[in-house]
């Protein structure tokens, strides 16, 4: 059996169709976007970001669990994103 390698991810083929974010009182940011890779299926992409003051840049983390206020904050954005499907 031959070893088949997956093709490498090419960022140039990743098309962003919609993007918006919600920012909480504590500075946390949750981004919501709709993306399609190489003209394929459109998918919802949700990320959590927090500003790292030591590095001076945003740091992206796994979304994990959401509080009620975070859910209420991103729900309208998700509803807008669904229109892009």
30-50 confidence digits (pLDDT tens): 999 999 999 999 999 999 987
What does the pLDDT read at residue 1? 56
Res. 53: pLDDT tops 70: no
Identify the pLDDT of residue 63: 85
3-state class of 70 per DSSP?
A: helix
Task: Name the token pair of 4.
Answer: 């088949």
Half-sphere exposure of 48 (CA within 13 A, CB side): 14
Distance CA 6, CA 17 (A): 25
pTM of the model: 0.78
CA distance linking residue 11 with residue 59, whole number of Å: 19
């Amino acid at each position: 059996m031959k070893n088949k390698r997956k093709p490498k991810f090419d960022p140039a083929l990743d098309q962003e169709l919609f993007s918006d974010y919600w920012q909480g009182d504590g500075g946390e940011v949750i981004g919501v976007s709709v993306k399609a890779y190489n003209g394929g299926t459109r998918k919802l992409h949700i990320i959590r970001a927090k500003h790292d003051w030591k590095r001076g840049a945003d740091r992206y983390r796994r979304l994990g669990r959401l509080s009620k206020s975070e859910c209420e904050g991103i729900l309208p954005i998700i509803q807008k994103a669904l229109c892009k499907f």
